[in-house]
Amino acid sequence: MAVYAFKGVNAAGKSIHGLLDAETSRSARTKLRKDGVYPTELVEQRGTSSVQAATGRSFQLPSFSRIPPLDLAIATRQIATLLSSGIPLVEGLSALTEQTENLRLRTALGKVRDRVNEGAHFADALAQTEVFPDLYVSMVRAGEAGGALETVLERLADYLESQVRMRNKVSSILIYPSVMFAFAMLVVGVLVTVVLPQITELLTSLNQELPFYTRWIIALSNFARDWWWAIGLGFACLAMGLRAAIGTPRGRETFDSLQLRLPVIGRTVRIIAIARFSRTLATLLAGGLPIVRALDTAKDVANNTVLGHAIDAARESITEGASVAAPLRNSGEFPPMVTHMIEVGERSGQLESMLSKIADTYEEQVETTMSRLTALLEPLLILLMVGIVVVIILATLVPLLQVTSSIS
């Protein structure tokens, strides 16, 4: 089913525009006329700029964009609410498709609705779109098999919303130091490429021997002004090379291992990964997913190969009839508190609640740690900027003072 952007006039003579999904352009026009809209322009959505002009608003390219986690969380909460209200799944998907603004999600939901209407399982329809994460599809499949789809969707919405909140907290904490760092680099760039060359001309015209640090700064200024394009190209090539290296299995494992061993930063990365793993595993188990499959999905969400090896060992341990906690403890990558709580949860049969408590605790630690790092980073950035400015001023002021004293 295609998506069409339309412009038209309603029965009251008012111009309207929007998006509509239909099999063909003819069926799209028929739908519009049934709704009392007389189309004046109808363009099939193919990710081109002509559609943007037709709709009068921007959109995301279907083949290159991904669904934002917040949009997916809102859609999941809405479909869970509709189902709990007694609305059939197909009708709920139709209502959700009509009001969803994200183009890719709207198109995917339309396809899911059509396949469900043809008799396919909800989880199979979600998987065929290749848009929804494996975690999402797995939980929906477990909910359908257990006859608790509404409950699973509510838990899934809770999980997605908690992930969005955590990501937003971290992002909001990092905004101020990022702005400070960008401003510091801008100030230094203006000093080195604009202000310093003018002072340099004055110093060289004095025919005086300049201090070594002044000569170094002048040379740095000339290099930055003449070779700025090479510097930018070098950084771009370095970034592309690192990205390609991290894309390989060995490079990814080396990068993840290095991340975990960095001072201060390593602990934060570990806490974030464990919080995501615990929250995901608790959500999957609560949704009725078998623990082996749940560990597989939670390992991917943790997004760290070093911790992933420990989780793989725990999955193998489960298949052999042993516990989850022992392999995690033996790996040395999970803190003792985490493995102890998991062990207690296994013994008491309350593993889900223990994992949720671990996630709550570590998410709070993430926020606290990021706040402390930000509080430490702000004065360091200010001192760095002040230090660079002071060095530049001294490098230019000292020779001028020497000349002035010699003249007097």
Q: What is the pLDDT of residues 84-97, one digit of tens each?
A: 888 888 888 888 88
Q: In terms of Cα–Cα distance, which of 284, 353, 292, 280 is closest to 321?
A: 292
Structural domain includes residue 44: yes
Instruction: Region of 323 please: left (phi>0), alpha (psi -120 to 50) or beta.
Output: beta
Asked if 257 and 111 sit in the same domain, the reply is: no
Which helix (H) or strand (E) is 37 found in, with range? strand 37-44
Token output for 38: 């007389």
Structural domain includes residue 63: no
Asked if 213 and 328 sit in the same domain, the reply is: yes
* Kind of pairing between the strands at 37-44 and 15-22: unpaired
Interatomic CA distance for residues 210 and 219, integer angstroms: 12
Measured from the Cβ of residue 72, the count of other Cβ atoms closer than 10 Å reads: 22
Asked if 79 and 215 sit in the same domain, the reply is: no
Structural domain includes residue 60: no
Measured from the Cβ of residue 75, the count of other Cβ atoms closer than 10 Å reads: 23
Q: Are residues 264 and 373 in contact, defined by beta-carbon separation less than 8 angstroms?
A: yes
| Residue 98: CATH number of its domain | 1.20.81.30
Place of tokens 């494996």: 134
Structural domain includes residue 359: yes
Token output for 20: 């509509």
Asked if 284 and 381 sit in the same domain, the reply is: yes
The tens place of each residue's pLDDT in the chain, 408 residues long, gives 566 777 777 776 677 777 776 666 777 777 777 777 777 777 776 544 333 333 333 333 333 346 788 888 888 888 888 888 888 888 888 888 888 888 888 888 888 888 888 888 888 888 888 788 877 887 788 778 777 788 888 888 888 888 788 778 777 777 877 887 788 778 777 777 777 777 777 767 766 677 777 778 778 777 877 887 888 899 999 999 988 888 888 888 888 889 888 887 888 888 888 888 888 888 888 877 788 888 887 887 787 888 888 888 888 888 877 788 888 888 888 888 888 998 898 888 888 889 889 988 888 888 788 778 777 877 887 888 788 778 877 777 777 777 667 665
Identity of residue 299: K
Asked if 312 and 391 sit in the same domain, the reply is: yes
Interatomic CA distance for residues 363 and 379, integer angstroms: 25
Asked if 317 and 373 sit in the same domain, the reply is: yes
Asked if 250 and 319 sit in the same domain, the reply is: yes
pLDDT at 58: 36
Q: Specify the pTM.
A: 0.64
Q: How far is CA 336 from the centre of its chain?
A: 29
Q: Which structural domain range is residue 40 located in?
A: 2-55
Q: How far apart are the first and last CA of the chain?
A: 87
Structurally, how many domains does the chain consist of?
3
CA gyration radius for the chain?
29
Alpha-helix runs per DSSP H in 191-206? 196-205
pLDDT at 403: 66
Structural domain includes residue 100: yes
Structural domain includes residue 171: no
Q: What is residue 279's three-state secondary structure? A: helix
Asked if 352 and 311 sit in the same domain, the reply is: yes
Report DSSP state, residue 247: T
Interatomic CA distance for residues 175 and 154, integer angstroms: 31
Asked if 244 and 347 sit in the same domain, the reply is: yes
Question: Which string of DSSP letters, residue by residue, matches 131-177?
Answer: -S-HHHHHHHHHHHHHT-HHHHHHHHHHHHHHHHHHHHHHHHHHHHH
Q: Are residues 100 and 109 in contact, defined by beta-carbon separation less than 8 angstroms?
A: yes
Asked if 183 and 286 sit in the same domain, the reply is: yes
Asked if 50 and 84 sit in the same domain, the reply is: no
Give long-range contacts, CB 8 A cutoff, 24+ apart: 249-255. 249/305, 252/305, 253/305, 253/306
Identity of residue 372: R
| Residue 20: CATH number of its domain | 3.10.20
Structural domain includes residue 62: no
Measured from the Cβ of residue 404, the count of other Cβ atoms closer than 10 Å reads: 9
Give the dihedral of Cα atoms 182, 187, 192, 198; nearest 10 deg.
150
Structural domain includes residue 249: yes
The neighbouring-strand residues paired with 347 are none
Question: Which string of DSSP letters, residue by residue, matches 281-303?
Answer: HHHHHHTT--HHHHHHHHHHHHT
Report DSSP state, residue 248: S
Of 128, 161, 194, the position where a domain reaches its end is 161
